């Protein structure tokens, strides 16, 4: 009954951790990919008001004009780039935007360049659509491998996906590296898909979007992380008008529209002050980095709320099993990578959990290294 296409997808990596998590009493949970604060009251009130006012029906497929206009104003303020209303649509999360974008772009055999480690969906969505994910390693420093891109980009390349700040590494690309990638994309006339969902969480200065340098960029942004609304399913896509028009056409036959009352609430959410949370995450980032940097190989994350420590020896999946047996939930790096050398920590949790987690991971690293050496 089930298609070969769906059977090709494997969700076992992350699912295993979540299944184990459900069984463990009082775990130290460092596996969660969302903020640990709640939606701000103003946004909640706006959603309740929208529901009461009766904004409960379908909206236009591309999303309500107020929200699209507010997003474009915010992008102009933060990225310095002006867009037309025909270049923006509201999606059901960045996940919805990614699905529509890849559906709009890929014919069987078309290639998409992806940087490893990668957000899990990229590779799987490309494969689901019978495309080919061309995966380039960014280990050990997670910088954009521009010279490698130049080697693999070709007539079948439909897009290059970049994600900064990144999941699972928290890495933020430098302006120079983004610029260099833009030059390669321009030379080969290839679309860049820039997943900027973590743009609200940047700790050491700025983050660079490619949109200022190149018109062939599809910017995917969202509300899930910045405003802690992962369950509201709201995102947006901004880019070339013909691509956006195609994505809207496909949305009409799939998601129909993003959740209506939340679209109205999001207009009010844009610009709400989340800086106290960002400040807290910066401190948590420093705490975890200081606590673990001598026992693992760590590139200090500049954004998001993840860290991607590498083991000095051995296999990360074995180490993660040990950690889970000691009630610390972390995600094995192979879920996000072709390699099994790292693991993902989310530091979007309470300080007590982080302290316990650091302590246990330190002790386990000694035990694990001693066992395998």
Distance CA 157, CA 280 (A): 40
The two tokens of residue 333 are: 């790096």
CA nearest neighbour of 101 among 76, 82, 129: 129
User: Per rule CB under 6 A, is residue 200 in the interface with ligand PLP?
Assistant: no
Region near ligand PLP per CB under 6 A, out of 65-73, 92-100, 263-271, 316-324: 92-100
Place of tokens 């949109």: 211
115 vs 368, beta carbon nearer ligand PLP: 115
129 vs 360, beta carbon nearer ligand PLP: 129
87 vs 224, beta carbon nearer ligand PLP: 224
User: Per rule CB under 6 A, is residue 195 in the interface with ligand PLP?
Assistant: yes
CA nearest neighbour of 50 among 67, 72, 35: 67
Minimum separation from the CB atom of position 224 to ligand PLP (A):
3
**Cα dihedral 169, 177, 242, 257 in deg (nearest 10):** 20
345 vs 358, beta carbon nearer ligand PLP: 345
DSSP calls for 211-264: GGT-SSEEEEEESTTTTT-GGG--EEEE--HHHHHHHHHHHHTTT-SS-HHHHH
The two tokens of residue 61 are: 């497929």
Distance CA 132, CA 111 (A): 5
User: Per rule CB under 6 A, is residue 197 in the interface with ligand PLP?
Assistant: yes
User: Per rule CB under 6 A, is residue 33 in the interface with ligand PLP?
Assistant: yes
Which one among 27, 35, 93, 301 touches ligand PLP, defined by CB under 6 A? Answer: 93
Minimum separation from the CB atom of position 249 to ligand PLP (A):
20
Which one among 83, 119, 296, 347 touches ligand PLP, defined by CB under 6 A? Answer: 119
User: Per rule CB under 6 A, is residue 95 in the interface with ligand PLP?
Assistant: yes
Which one among 157, 163, 226, 365 touches ligand PLP, defined by CB under 6 A? Answer: 163
Distance CA 160, CA 162 (A): 7
Interface ranges with ligand PLP (CB under 6 A) = 33, 93-95, 119, 163, 167, 195, 197, 222, 224, 230, 235
């Amino acid at each position: 009954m089930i298609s070969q296409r769906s059977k090709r997808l494997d969700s076992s990596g992350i699912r295993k951790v979540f299944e184990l998590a459900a069984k463990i009493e009082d775990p130290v949970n460092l596996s969660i990919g969302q903020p640990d604060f709640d939606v701000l009251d103003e946004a909640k009130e706006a959603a309740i008001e929208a529901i009461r006012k009766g904004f409960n029906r379908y909206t236009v497929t591309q999303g309500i004009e107020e929200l699209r206009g507010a997003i474009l104003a915010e992008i102009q303020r933060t990225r310095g780039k002006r867009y037309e209303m025909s270049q923006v649509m509201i999606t059901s999360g960045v996940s919805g935007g990614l699905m529509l974008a890849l559906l709009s772009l890929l014919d069987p055999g078309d290639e998409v360049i992806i940087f490893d480690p990668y957000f899990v969906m990229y590779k799987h969505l490309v494969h689901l659509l019978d495309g080919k994910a061309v995966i380039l390693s960014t280990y050990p420093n997670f910088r954009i491998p521009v010279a490698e891109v130049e080697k693999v980009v070709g007539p079948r390349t439909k897009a290059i996906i970049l994600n900064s700040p990144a999941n699972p590494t928290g890495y933020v690309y430098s302006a120079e590296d983004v610029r260099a990638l833009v030059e390669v994309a321009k030379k080969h006339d290839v679309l860049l898909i820039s997943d900027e969902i973590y743009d609200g969480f940047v700790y050491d200065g700025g983050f660079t979007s490619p949109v200022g340098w190149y018109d062939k960029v599809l910017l995917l942004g969202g509300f899930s992380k910045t405003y802690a609304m992962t369950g509201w399913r709201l995102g947006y896509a901004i880019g070339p008008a013909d691509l956006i028009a195609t994505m809207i056409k496909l949305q009409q036959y799939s998601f129909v529209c993003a959740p209506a009352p939340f679209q109205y609430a999001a207009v009010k959410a844009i610009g709400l002050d989340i800086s106290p949370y960002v400040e807290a995450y910066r401190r948590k980032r420093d705490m975890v980095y200081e606590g673990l940097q001598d026992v693992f190989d760590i590139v200090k994350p500049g954004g998001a709320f993840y860290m991607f420590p590498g083991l000095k020896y051995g296999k990360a999946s074995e180490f993660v099993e040990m950690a889970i047996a000691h009630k610390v939930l972390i995600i094995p790096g192979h879920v996000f990578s072709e390699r099994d050398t790292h693991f993902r920590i989310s530091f979007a949790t309470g300080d007590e959990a982080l302290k316990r987690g650091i302590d246990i991971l330190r002790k386990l690293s000694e035990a694990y290294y001693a066992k395998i050496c």
